[in-house]
A and B are shown apart, each in its own frame.
Chain A
Amino acid sequence: MLEFVDSAAQAVSRITDGATVLIGGFGNAGQPMELIDALMDSGATGLTVVNNNAGQADAGLALLIKERRVAKIICSFPRQSDSWHFDEAYRAGEIELELVPQGNLAERMRAAGAGIGGFFSPTGYGTQLAEGKEVREIDGRHYVLESPIRGDFALIKAYAADPAGNLVYRKTARNFGPVMATAAAHTIVQVDEVLEESLNPEHVVTPGIYVDTVVGIPTESGVKEREERAALAAGQPKPCLATKTAAELAAEK
């Protein structure tokens, strides 16, 4: 049953020790920072986390890892210039890592959400990351059997939710959100705007059937969105719109 709650703490209160949690975001875009902070405060531990990365700097997922709340991480790109908390936990042998190519990571969650028991992917064939996995040649091409990744919970950030729990996202902050929403038993969403009116059904990206808990939390995304709308209302182009291509800019230099 869809619920709208008042705080991030309420939104994550169901998450228990040992849960598998899918956390959206690519870098900081679409990362549900306030939900992750609330998960930290909840004390839940022994978590398996699925995210593209393994935390940046001293915020969000990086802090969960620093406090050793994450027993296992499934991700594509843990090593970054500012992933020091993951690096330390990994070197100390205090976190398990399952490294998955980014597209396989997304597709394995898509499969879980779509009720697919496994799929043959060409990505990773002939590499270390396919070792021990079933390989099949289909129409002259080699594929590797990949399994679904299901979550007990998904924590994602969308831009707005309507009363039916339908979601829209903002720019590249969409990234893993729509896929994770389908792959978890219980999907928790933070949005900048909780709408009183229904979204245009043609514009819905994640239908409400995939959404369980919604909490409204204002972030920088809302600030940028309002700036953009104000510009458009004043008959000006969106601030993020390029007036020149890279080649035109390079030619001017």
Chain B
Amino acid sequence: MSEFRSTDAPLTQDELAQVIAEDIQPGSFVNLGIGQPTTVSNYLSPEKKVTLHTENGMLGFGPQATGDQIDGDLINAGKIPVTELPGASYFHHADSFAMMRGGHLDVCVLGAYQVSAQGDLANWSTGKPGAIPAVGGAMDLAIGAKDTYVMMDLFTKKGDVKLLPECTFPLTGVGCVSRIYSDRAVLLLDSSGIVKVRELHGITLEELREAHPEVTFETVGA
């Protein structure tokens, strides 16, 4: 566990991806969710020997395919053409999710609409009436890895908080998120509901508490 640190400016998306990549242990098996979490792979150095899992049935995929590399039979969970790295393997869907559910993946990085202080995750539906629902692998991913990290902005574009005492959107998983990596804070969660603050960027602890009056924060090591 590193010590508490703070900087004056919020992290850019690339800086945030780099912070997450640095926290992923060498030799880990990792699933990066669709969208922003995918950018973490840009900072996983080959020396770390991190293997990426995609739930449609592959371990060891490489960067997005270009030109002659593109093969319609080789895609990731976002349905984007990808490449093979040496040592890659293919397997069917039941094996892929068994691998996840069975606790064999070390880390999963996901986006979120909301996270509760106890680590409940809401990232599949905003509960809007009349919307067509779609869950995909979100619920399996949320509870599947040894550690589930959320990568998100701390506030919505409208300025609403996304870290809440209880999620108001439909849940994806209960008590499954262990860390929030956001532009303004890196937060560690557990079932106590007391949120440990590891990093602050462009926000003070007082401002963090003011914005989230119903959440209890402590800095790490405090």
Cβ-neighbour of A241 out of B73, B79, B84 (below 8 A)? B84
> Closest CB of chain B to A82's CB: distance in Å?
11
B1 interface residue, CB < 8 Å from A?
no
Contact B85–A242 (Cβ < 8 Å): yes
Cβ-neighbour of B137 out of A101, A122, A173 (below 8 A)? A101
Chain B 103-139 interface 0/1 with A at a Cβ cutoff of 8 Å (1 = within): 0000000000000000010000100000111111111
Interface pairs (16), CB distance under 8 Å: A26-B75, A76-B136, A99-B133, A101-B138, A103-B137, A128-B170, A142-B174, A171-B84, A176-B93, A178-B92, A179-B92, A245-B44, A245-B45, A246-B41, A247-B41, A247-B43
| B120: A residues at CB distance < 8 A | 126
Interface size on B, residues (CB 8 A): 57
A221 interface residue, CB < 8 Å from B?
yes
Distance, CA A247 to CA B96, complexed state (A): 25
Using CB atoms, name the residue of chain A closest to B79.
Answer: A27
B172 interface residue, CB < 8 Å from A?
yes
A136 interface residue, CB < 8 Å from B?
no
Cβ-neighbour of A110 out of B83, B94, B137, B144 (below 8 A)? B94
B140 interface residue, CB < 8 Å from A?
yes
Interface residues of A toward B: which range? 35 or more
The 8 A-B pairs of least Cβ separation, nearest first, read: A242-B62, A103-B97, A103-B140, A242-B83, A126-B174, A250-B42, A106-B93, A79-B134
B171 interface residue, CB < 8 Å from A?
yes
A interface vs B, CB < 8 Å? Answer: 26-30, 76-80, 86-87, 90-91, 97, 99-107, 109-110, 121-129, 142, 169-179, 205, 220-221, 224, 238-242, 244-250
| B74: A residues at CB distance < 8 A | 29, 171-172, 240
| A178: B residues at CB distance < 8 A | 92, 94
> Closest CB of chain A to B102's CB: distance in Å?
10
Distance, CA A106 to CA B42, complexed state (A): 31
B interface vs A, CB < 8 Å? Answer: 21, 41-46, 54-58, 62-63, 65, 68-69, 71-76, 79, 83-86, 90-94, 96-98, 100-101, 120, 125, 131-140, 143-144, 170-174
| A122: B residues at CB distance < 8 A | 101, 143
> Closest CB of chain B to A55's CB: distance in Å?
13
Distance, CA A76 to CA B134, complexed state (A): 6
Cβ-neighbour of B97 out of A87, A102, A171 (below 8 A)? A102
| B136: A residues at CB distance < 8 A | 76-77, 101-102
Contact A238–B84 (Cβ < 8 Å): yes
Beyond contacts A101-B136, A124-B139: 4 other A-B pairs, Cβ-Cβ < 8 A, are: A87-B132, A175-B56, A240-B84, A242-B69
Cβ-neighbour of A79 out of B21, B101, B133 (below 8 A)? B133
| A78: B residues at CB distance < 8 A | 132-134
Using CB atoms, name the residue of chain B closest to A248.
Answer: B46
Q: A103-B101, A173-B73, A175-B56 given as contacts; is B63 within 8 A of A245 (CB)?
A: yes
